[in-house]
Each structure stands twice: as structure tokens, then as C-alpha cells.
Amino acid sequence: AAEHKYEHIQLTTPRPGVALITLNRPKALNALFSPLINELNTCTSSLDRDTSISAIVLTGSPKAFAAGADIKEMAPKTFSDAYGHDFIESWSNITRIKKPVIGAVNGYALGGGCELAMMCDILYASKTATFGQPEIKLGILPGAGGTQRLAHAVGKAKAMHLILTGDNFSGEQAEQWGLVAKCFDDAEACVNGALDTAEKIAGYSKIAVKACKEAVNKSQDLGVREGVEYERRLFHGLFGSQDQKIGMEAFANKKKAEWTHS
Ligand code: CAA
């Protein structure tokens, strides 16, 4: 991956084809403020263009994935500051990345931190994780997609309860409710598990991975009939790829597929 110097995040490539982004604003428990989000957006969009990278892992520290939007940065904002400058809109840029993003949540994932986690394509957590949408306690609402993504993930009943009470929930609860795909015993196992998954995905055809991610994410926006039609278009399209021939011939010949990513 291209080596950039970032102040509030760290970028490494610990496995072949895998980039690891670590949110790194320890003094404020990775509270999300504009300079950090700008770096995250620069970094993820450059990784999306980087042909040596196939999957991205996003994590924080063992203490905090991110403790929310920076309350001190937000406090003085007026309506015209917020509306006029589309406050928070660019926070969802990460959802425009075409490569899979795997979130590994340890410690606090509150408010905007929980919302950022929910933007990831696959979400892992550990037993140390504390999720929550505490915005109600600050006199606001979750403004970075939380009301929508939490409701999609855990259903309206639980989402409404969590958002109106501001109660926290654990990594294990998040797994039981289907918000996270796996809950690990500790932070290290969680990040390693995310890297293992990213490395596995990096071993597949990039074309097929891109289509799978695109199709599954459409399920969040489209009705089932339109979603299935969308899926079928992508499915038909993949018969125009070399990797479809390579994958199926390798199966027939009992060989390992050597993907061309085309
Ligand atoms: N914004 C700004 N600073 C924050 C912060 C946040 N969201 N969360 C923590 N910090 C800062 C604290 O102010 C503190 O800084 P100082 O040392 O300069 O005082 C430092 O990080 C360490 O935090 P604590 O001393 O509070 O640590 P703790 O272990 O006692 O408590 C915590 C941890 C329970 C996470 C507590 O920090 C907390 O409740 N944080 C706020 C959580 C929150 O309300 N998040 C939602 C924000 S609103 C939002 O996100 C809007 C949206 O939808 C996008």
C-alpha cells in the first residue's frame, strides 16, 4: 500500500493483500473529528485504487474503537454550520469503497463509533466491546446512519429500545442479535480473526469479491424482487470474466485456481 504519513490513523499491510487501518487518537478514545475522518477518507479511497490491496481491516485500540463524534468539536455548532457544511455526510464515504472493509471492534464503540462500525461490510467484536447509541443523552440523535443501520441489523424493536434509552450493549449481545458476525474472547484474537478473514478474501478473484459485496449491500437498499434481479444481472455479468472460467476449470481439474482478477 502507498505509504502516507497520517496523524490520527495508522496504516500497515500485515498480510498479503491486506491493509490494516488503526484509529489512533488515544487521548480522546478515538473520538471522531474532522481531521481524523478526512485522513480515513483519504486513506480508504487510496487503498481502493491500490491494486496490491484486496481487503481492508478497520480497528481502534483495545480500549476504544471510537467513543463517538467529538462532543467538544460539535458543541458550538449552529444549524447553519451543520446544514451549510453537510456536517457528518462525508463520514459515510467509507461505504463507497468497493473493496471489503472488515471492522474489528474492541472497547468502546459509542455514537458515531458504533455508526462507523456498522458501515463496515463484515463486523467482528470481542467480549471487551461496548456498543451503544447514547446520543439521546446529549439531546441529539444518531446522525451518521445509526437509526437506519441499527434497525436493519437488529430489527426495529431492539433498535428503538437502544436508541431511545441510550443503553449500551456488549460484543456478545451484538453477536446474538446479528449486528456482528463473530465475537472473540479478546482484542488480539478479534484483530487477528479480522486479518485472517481479510487474507482469505484476498485469495479470491477480485472481480467476484467486488460483485459479492455489491450484491449483498444492495439487499439493504432494495426490495427482495429488485434485489434478486440486481443479483442476477451481476451473476450473468460474471460469465464474461476470465476468473469464472479459471475457477470452474480449476474445480473440474482438481487444481487450485490461479486468478487473473479479470
Ligand atoms: N468526544 C470528545 N472527547 C471524548 C469523547 C467524545 N465522544 N469520548 C471521550 N472523550 C475524551 C474525554 O473527554 C477525555 O478527555 P480529557 O482527558 O481531556 O478529559 C478522554 O477522552 C478520556 O475519556 P474519559 O475520561 O471520559 O474516559 P472513561 O474511561 O472515564 O469513560 C467513556 C469512557 C464512557 C467512553 C466516556 O468517555 C464517554 O461517555 N464518552 C462519550 C460517549 C458519547 O456520548 N458518544 C457519542 C457522541 S455523539 C455522536 O457520536 C453523534 C453522532 O451520531 C455522530
Q: What is the pLDDT of residues 150-201, one digit of tens each?
A: 999 999 999 999 999 999 999 999 999 999 999 999 999 999 999 999 999 9
Burial of 189 (0-12, 13-18, 19+ CB in 10 A): middle
**How does residue 131 score in pLDDT terms, banded at 50, 70 and 90?**
very high
Closest CA to 31 of 118, 85, 91: 91
Ligand 1 is surrounded, with C-beta below 6 A, by: 28-29, 31, 67-72, 88, 108, 110-112, 115, 134-135, 138, 142-144, 146
Choose the residue to mutate in 23, 25, 36, 71 for probing ligand 1, maximizing ligand atoms within 8 Å of C-beta. Answer: 71
Indicate if the pLDDT at residue 30 is higher than 60.
yes
Give 208 Cα–ligand 1 centroid separation in angstroms: 40
C-alpha grid cell, residue 90: 462525508
**How does residue 89 score in pLDDT terms, banded at 50, 70 and 90?**
very high
Query: Which ipTM score applies to this complex?
Result: 0.98
* Closest ligand 1 atom to 88 CA: 54
* Closest ligand 1 atom to 111 CA: 50
For residues 29 and 67, the answer to whether their CB atoms sit within 8 Å is yes
Residue carrying the nine cell digits 451503544: 132
Closest CA to 18 of 37, 1, 5: 1
* Closest ligand 1 atom to 69 CA: 50
Going by alpha carbons, the residue nearest to atom 32 of ligand 1 is 67
Q: What is the pTM of this model?
A: 0.97
Query: How remote is the C-alpha of 33 from its chain's centroid?
Result: 18
Q: How far apart are CA 53 and CA 167, in angstroms?
A: 38
Going by alpha carbons, the residue nearest to atom 11 of ligand 1 is 28
Q: Are strands 182-184 and 64-66 parallel, antiparallel or unpaired?
A: unpaired
Q: Which residues of 224-252 are buried (b: 16+ CB within 10 A; e: fewer)?
A: eeebeebbeeeeeeeeebebbebbeeeee
Indicate if the pLDDT at residue 4 is higher than 80.
no
Q: How far apart are CA 36 and CA 53, in angstroms?
A: 22
Indicate if the pLDDT at residue 1 is higher than 70.
no
C-alpha grid cell, residue 110: 459509542
Q: How far apart are CA 40 and CA 157, in angstroms?
A: 32
Could you tell me how many residues make up the chain?
A: 262
